[in-house]
Amino acid sequence: MNVKPSVIHTTRAIYAMNWYDISPGLIYIQKSFSLTQVQLGLLLTVFYIGVGIFQIPAGYISTRIGNRNTATIGILGLGIASLISAASPTYSVLAGSRFFAGIFSAMFFSPAIGTLRSATSDNTYNFHVNFFNGSFNLGAGIGVAGWEAIDSFSGFRIGFLVAGLITVAAAIVYFIALREVKEEKIQLTPTRNLINVLLNRGLWIYATAGTASVISENVAAQIVIYYMEKSLGVSSGLASISGTLFLVFGFIGGIIGGLIIGKFRSVKVFFIITTALTSILMIALAFFTNIYAIYAIVCALGAVTVQGFSAIYIIITRSMKEKAQTTSSLSVVNAAQEIPGSIWPFVFSFISSSVGFFAAWNVIGIASLAFMFLVFIPPARRPYKSGSSPGGL
């Protein structure tokens, strides 16, 4: 594999590790700061708030200072935020550091894909987008499994310290290794470019139609462990395997998706298939109680979830006339998915606590499937302008 894409994929995995390294340390953080469960939940929420609200500003910044510089600032800031988390004397400081970790995370993702598009050929771009998304799951799996050992042995502060040092080192390597990547300059002003992207109706259609992948990542991957413990009476050790399987098969699914997506004449068809499967598999969780059946469902769900995200990114970036619009377009997509996506864990929890898990799995699965049909709405046909989508998706 080309060195430059490899550096991007590796940094993506390290970036993801910083999303999930906090999970094994929650129990130790709660004891250290004497937190309530609500305070512990807010510690996770502030991170995702930072990720969501800064997506579009990050895309705007990248049009001014470049993708490599923006992504480097993002990964470097994420590492520094982790170091601050390690040294946090109070809960408020820790919460603030996680909020800024979210902001800096937003500065890495879309600019990194923008750099990836510049560093790969048109023939290999689809494969690398899938591999890029699979790398997130690989890094997340390392964050959960590796930091479980670190935190249990040395405490959560050492866990944050190790993650921070690795991430800062990754930022340095990223900046140096990608210095020769030629970035396309956008022909429009940053503001006009952002307006054109925001007015791309097809972008909003696919961002919303891909709700299944967002729900799967934000709900199914997180709550299936709790569901197995509380509803099915499975031990914590066996239940936690499902979370690991989701992440591992997400990485495998990213590679497989990259290899097979080129066999489809239309990426839209690939998107419909993977999104429909994601929805159906979430519904299937309501009907199977055997632990091995759930493991199988979760493995498949992890794989198709990643492929659904990848299909959206490929469709959107290829719909833009200029390669330089990749970053800003994906920033808008992420904001359109992550901000409303934050409500689905609450929706699932509310339904499962008031009606039951059977109803909750069916509701999120059916809702996901309903959103998918938005792709059959024809994009608006508007007069072609430089930097706008050439006639839709």
User: What are the pLDDT digits (tens) for 283-331?
Assistant: 999 999 899 999 999 999 999 999 999 999 888 887 776 666 778 888 8
Calculated CA dihedral for residues 271, 17, 55, 107, nearest 10 degrees = -120
Q: Are residues 357 and 270 in the same domain?
A: yes
Instruction: Select the more confidently predicted residue: 389 or 243.
Output: 243
Task: Assess whether 224 and 89 both reside in one domain.
Answer: no
Residues 275 and 345 in one domain: yes
Residues 30 and 176 in one domain: yes
In this structure, how many other beta carbons lie within 10 angstroms of the beta carbon of residue 267?
19
Phi, psi values for residue 279, rounded to 5°: -65, -45
Q: Do 105 and 212 sit in the same domain of this protein? A: no
Q: Which residues contact 323 (CB under 8 A, 6 or more apart)?
A: 114, 117, 118, 184, 317
Same-domain pairing of 227 and 279: yes
Which CATH number covers residue 275?
Answer: 1.20.1250.20
Co-location of 157 and 63 in the same domain: yes
Q: From CA 14, how far away is CA 1, in angstroms rounded?
A: 18
122-164 residue pLDDT tens: 788 888 988 998 898 889 888 877 887 888 888 899 999 999 9
- Domain carrying residue 137: 1-183
Q: Are residues 177 and 87 in the same domain?
A: yes
Summarize pLDDT for 38-72 with one digit per residue, the tens. 787 788 778 888 988 899 999 889 888 999 999 99
Whether residue 214 sits in one domain with residue 319: yes
What's the CA angle centered on 120, arms 118 and 126, to 5 degrees? 110
How much is the pLDDT for 334?
Answer: 85
Q: Where are the beta strands (DSSP E) in the chain?
A: none
Specify the pLDDT at position 323: 67
Q: Measured over all CA atoms, what is the biggest interatomic distance in the chain, rounded to whole angstroms?
A: 62
Nearest to 236 by CA among 244, 224, 228: 228
Contact (Cβ atoms closer than 8 angstroms) between residue 305 and residue 364:
no
